[in-house]
Amino acid sequence: MRSLALGAALALAACAPRDPPPDAVYRAFARAASERDAAAAWPLLSARTRAWLDARARAAAAEAPGLLSPSGQRVLFGDAAARARPLKEIAVLRSDAGRAELRVADAGGAVAEVVLVREGGGWRIDLPER
């Protein structure tokens, strides 16, 4: 009876949907950013990244009341999409259970390393504060 229950549990685990891998999450983020779809891109950012973007937006809005939005989504996606270039290559450099590092190259030749962290059961992009 125990082996039957164990076999059923393993079968269910094998059929369970898996979280997208880090490179797929970054592709989804890049696609949403290039389409200026902040609603799709924002949840793909880490809580830490969203918090500092919101703080930066609030500070900027306080300096120019009524002119700037206090939304971190606006800081990130306001003009970033205009500069976004199509992705050429994404390579996973390192990955463990809680952190992944990608090398991302765009069609214009720019190369960057991107960190993703595991949050809320999925991968989230963790941008450095600027």
Residue 29 CB burial class (10 angstroms; 0-12, 13-18, ≥19): buried
Q: Is the dihedral of CA 35, 121, 113, 61 positive or negative?
A: positive
Q: What is the pLDDT of residue 35?
A: 85
Q: What is the pLDDT of residues 51-75, one digit of tens each?
A: 998 888 888 888 877 777 777 777 7
What value does the mean pLDDT take over residues 36-45? Answer: 91
Q: What is the pLDDT of residue 96?
A: 96
Contact 3, 106 (CB under 8 A): no
- Structural domains of the chain in order of their starting residue, each with its CATH number: 19-125 (3.10.450)
Q: What is the pLDDT of residues 79-129, one digit of tens each?
A: 554 566 788 999 999 999 999 999 999 989 999 999 999 999 999 999 998
